[in-house]
């Protein structure tokens, strides 16, 4: 959680408070579900008044949109760090991002948020827009990686291969990670996905 350090400027304090609110909102949605995702509950979790939350986010929809932007920014930063660490080849870069996605998808916060957003999207247009934006952005990141790995592929073919790879990653999260009885299979299945994702991108 973002903390307000001594000597912070007003702008820094406002940004830190805003981040604290979004962090609380993420945890509520992921761990407690859509029914608990209210501005009042977020205020209680953050330790501020309802008015303080509404100062930054007038409605629950505003908070949901900000939450999506925040999550995308975290993902983008992590993805870029993973790519920058791989200086040997484009293949290493692709594999680093796949490893990052595999690692993150095992986190309860990540798969909890994923399931709750999908559930909420069935009845809430803002949540549906957030899901669309999130997956559109992730698809674009993956398409750029596949194109770098296999420049001869057309844009439409990169898109099709991206869909297949992301479907494998999402399916793993739903089928394997949610059931802890499957924990012994994590490593073996993840390695199969690494190999298959690279094959799909390169072939």
Ordered by where they begin, the domains of the chain are 1-58 (1.10.10), 60-202 (1.10.357.10)
Q: What is the percent of the chain with per-residue pLDDT over 70, rounded to a whole number? A: 90
Predicted local distance difference test score (pLDDT) of residue 88: 66
CB burial of residue 65 (10 Å; 0-12, 13-18, 19+): middle
Specify whether the CB–CB gap between 60 and 125 falls below 8 A: no
Predicted local distance difference test score (pLDDT) of residue 109: 87
Which parts of the chain sit beneath pLDDT 70? 1-7, 83, 85-88, 176-183
Among candidates 76, 199, 78, 89, which has minimal Cα distance to 140?
76
Predicted local distance difference test score (pLDDT) of residue 86: 55
What is the C-alpha separation between 196 and 172, in angstroms, rounded? 13
Predicted local distance difference test score (pLDDT) of residue 181: 66
3-state secondary structure of 200: helix
Predicted local distance difference test score (pLDDT) of residue 179: 64
């Amino acid at each position: 959680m973002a903390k307000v350090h001594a000597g912070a400027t007003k702008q820094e304090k406002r940004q830190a408070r805003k981040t604290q609110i979004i962090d609380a909102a993420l945890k509520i949605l992921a761990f407690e579900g859509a029914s608990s995702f209210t501005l009042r509950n977020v205020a209680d979790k953050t330790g501020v008044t309802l008015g303080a939350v509404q100062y930054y986010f007038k409605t629950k929809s505003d908070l949901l949109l900000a939450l999506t932007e925040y999550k995308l920014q975290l993902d983008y930063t992590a993805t870029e760090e993973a790519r920058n660490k791989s200086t040997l080849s484009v293949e290493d870069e692709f594999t680093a991002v796949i490893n990052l996605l595999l690692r993150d998808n095992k986190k309860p916060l990540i798969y909890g948020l994923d399931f709750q957003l999908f559930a909420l999207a069935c009845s809430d247009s803002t949540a549906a827009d957030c899901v669309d934006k999130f997956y559109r952005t992730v698809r674009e990141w993956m398409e750029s990686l596949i194109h770098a790995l296999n420049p001869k592929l057309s844009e439409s073919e990169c898109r099709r291969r991206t869909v297949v790879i992301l479907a494998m990653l999402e399916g793993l999260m739903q089928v394997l990670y949610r059931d802890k009885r499957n924990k012994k299979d994590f490593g073996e299945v993840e390695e199969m996905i690494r190999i298959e994702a690279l094959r799909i991108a390169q072939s």
